[in-house]
Amino acid sequence: MNPSSARRSVAASVALALAVTALPGPAVRAAGGGAKSISAADLKAWLTQISSDEFEGRATFTEGLGLAASYIAGELRAMGVKPGGDRGSYFQRVSVLGVKATSRHTVTVTVNGQSRTFKDGEGITLPRNAGGKQTLTSDQIEFVGYGAVLPAIKVDDYAGRNVAGKVVVYLGARGPKGGETRDNRRLLGGRSRYATDVLKAMATIGPFVPSPFGPQAAATPSPSPAPSPAPAAGGPGGGGFGRAPLPNSDFTTVERLDKTVPPAVTAQDEFFEFLFSGADVKYADLKARAANQEPLPQVSLQGVSMRFGIDADYEIVRTQFTRNVVGIIEGADPKLKDTYVAFGAHYDHVGYAEGEVVDVPASGDTPAGKRRLGAAGQVTPGAVEDRIWNGADDDGSGTVTLLSLAKAFATAPRTRRSLVFVWHTGEERGLWGSRYYADYPSVPMDKIVAQLNMDMVGRNDKNDPREVNTVYLVGSDRISTELHNINEEANASLKPPMKIDYSSNDPGDGEQIYYRSDHYSYAAKGVPIIFYTTGLHPDYHANTDSVEKIEFDKMARISELMYETGRRVANLDHAPAHDNKGPRVGKGSTGKLQP
């Protein structure tokens, strides 16, 4: 596609995208197709539009995001990429649910033949969204001290232990001494997830941490949408046009309410006192040591068993709609075209400030100055007048790089497998679009052999010019060693290769990137993934994340790497093998792994 076509008006894009039932135009397969079609000029033209003020920061549930979705759909149709959404359109409707929960969860603990049952809210707390009904029992209960893996202070409470299939118990809300840094706090906050996701524990029980928003608030998985506008006065019952105010929800989700998840229990003193009542070290001593952040001794919990009764009723009290954008290129092999390689990025960002700039007097250590009310994120000093968070890198860069991949495959000879391209909505609100797609996929999830995802691929980490050829990879080794090695081989074929940095893949990395973008929704379903990013910078979630700071040549190189990796996977005669060996590459790692 000619770069100038990417500059057409939003109105034209909307009109084109509305013709969702029309067949896509023929793809142009010329000598300059495939990877040769990937150009910095295209990327710049697309991103200049996507990150413009016209799209108003692309916040979920806003007109700006709808315009962006229509723009993407229009480009796909012009490329000849088939619609992959609902009812022959490019759009998959995503239902964002506000839910009230009625909990009947229990945990029954048996210690040396004596049993006691604890109810949710009485000695134990479970997340409001604890998943579908299930009963789990275990007599393998393992106390793991603080349950911490903090490489920066050389702490690994799981060293030499295998907790797969067991119930993991840990103490100490603050963790061990030295755990007070920002990165360590993030790792401590993810202890339950690490135990179940990486180490495959059956369930976790940790210390209860009171929340200022109520006893359950800390367990809510994602922020709730903004409250509904107040109803207009004068209607029946004061509701305006017969509308009554919506009831409050306990949590917001896009996922199936009946899916089962590992129990993540937080407990109070009475629970732990009973749990450790038969141990050689009493809970009072452990609690005192944990309060002082001292080393915790190993404690055997022999003669202890547990039964988890996960049982709740969920009532949907609110539904909001947003949209994923989905395109498909069918494969050429009659036997393999019903399997897919998926490519993804998120096209939403955080929007704009509704408030105005005001003068604020000095207060304490804060000097007098101008402030932007209602800021959608960080306000860069000197840019207080800018009310729109354009999100050029986050994730406008991934959005348009995904367009370049769609164009490259549309203009190349067809691969054996089919290809699905998904622009996810609501990533900034809690991976909404990808979590929805994972539960309600437009193609069968068990037919997706790999997912290649990107988020923020347009800058250099910390604005370091030495990073101009560096890309950070996360997750490539965790589910499929073969996929990791295919990407390494693809990179080696580039002239010259990119520098691949795996430091963010380390489970001890404080940013915990593996869990923070849309690839994780696929990985949680067992799909091998690779996540590509170029790291963070001072404009992350700031109103100065703008297009003139983007490294378009670097984006084109990353697109070429993803194209070559995806092409190789799509032409394999078998799906990349799942060996599920977990994270092995990290800081200082390079090259292929032994299967």
Backbone angles phi, psi at 154, to 5 degrees: 55, 45
Contact 266, 207 (CB under 8 A): yes
- 6: pLDDT confidence band, cut at 50, 70 and 90? very low
As a dihedral over the C-alpha atoms of residue 115, residue 121, residue 124, residue 129, rounded to 10 degrees, the angle is 120
> How many angstroms separate the CA atoms of 572 and 569, rounded?
5
pLDDT at 243: 72
pLDDT, residue 11, reads 46
Instruction: With cut-offs at 50, 70 and 90, classify the pLDDT of residue 240.
Output: low
Q: Kindly provide the residue ranges of all beta strands, DSSP E only, lying in 268-335, ordered along the sequence.
A: 304-310, 312-329
Q: Is the pLDDT of residue 14 over 90?
A: no
**Band of the pLDDT at 242, cuts 50, 70, 90?**
low
State the pLDDT confidence band at 553, using cuts at 50, 70 and 90.
very high
Structural domains for the chain: 35-52+329-349+390-550+557-570 (3.40.630.10), 105-310 (3.50.30), 352-387 (no CATH)
DSSP state of 44: H
pLDDT of 438-483, one tens digit each? 999 999 999 999 999 999 999 999 999 999 999 999 999 999 999 9
Residue 204 has pLDDT above 90, yes or no: yes
Q: How confident is the model at residue 261 (pLDDT cuts 50, 70, 90)?
A: very high
**Best-predicted range by mean pLDDT (207-216, 232-241, 306-315, 579-588):** 306-315
Query: In this predicted model, which residue has the larger pLDDT, 8 or 351?
Result: 351
Q: Which residues of 18-32 are buried (b: 16+ CB within 10 A; e: fewer)?
A: eebeeebeebeeeee
- The string of pLDDT tens digits covering residues 396-447 is 999 999 999 999 999 999 999 999 999 999 999 999 999 999 999 999 999 9
Check whether 1 has a pLDDT greater than 80: no
Mean pLDDT of 187-213: 87
pLDDT at 241: 59
> Residue 104: its pLDDT value, please?
98
Q: Concatenated DSSP letters for 90-111? A: SEEEEEEEEEEEEE--EEEEEE
Single-letter amino acid code for the residue at 588: G
Res 182: pLDDT: 87
Q: 377 versus 236: which is more confidently predicted?
A: 377
Gap between the Cα atoms of 559 and 553, Å rounded: 10
pTM: 0.89
Average pLDDT over residues 331-341: 98
Q: Is 437 within 8 Å of 527 (Cβ atoms)?
A: no
Most confident of 8-12, 264-268, 358-362: 264-268
Looking at residue 8, its pLDDT comes to 41
Q: What average pLDDT does the segment 193-216 reach?
A: 79
pLDDT averaged over the chain? 90
Residue 592 near residue 488 (C-beta atoms within 8 A): yes
Model confidence at 225, pLDDT cuts 50, 70, 90, reads very low
Pair 522, 420: CB distance under 8 Å = no
- The residue type of 348 is D
541: left (phi over 0), alpha (psi -120 to 50) or beta: left
**Confidence band, pLDDT 50/70/90 cuts, at residue 32:** confident
Over residues 71-78, mean pLDDT: 98
Q: Per-residue pLDDT averaged across 209-222, rounded?
A: 42
From residue 264, alpha-carbon distances to 169, 195, 514 in Å are 10, 10, 19
Question: Could you give the CA distance from residue 50 to residue 47 in angstroms, rounded to a whole number?
Answer: 5
Percentage with pLDDT > 90 across the chain:
83
Q: Indicate the pLDDT class of residue 228, thresholds 50, 70 and 90.
A: very low
